[in-house]
Amino acid sequence: MCNLSKGVEEKGIQKGILLSIRNLMETMGWPVEQAMEGLKIPEEQKSKYLEELKKG
């Protein structure tokens, strides 16, 4: 059960970060790279979020 709740938590965090990236892009007119920089997303995680953003 512990692993399940951790997975759910991580998925929720990821959704929140994706929403934040999209919001910065929309409201500030920033490109995706600048939005991720503004959120201080670590370099090693950026490709993961780029892929998720491409999925829609």
Domain boundaries, the chain: 24-56
Instruction: For residue 1, give both structure tokens.
Output: 């059960």
Cα radius of gyration (the chain): 12
Place of tokens 């910065």: 24
User: What is the per-residue pLDDT for 1?
Assistant: 54
pTM as predicted? 0.87
Sign of the Cα torsion 8, 9, 14, 20 reads: positive
pLDDT digit string, tens, across residues 4-33: 899 999 999 999 999 999 999 999 999 999
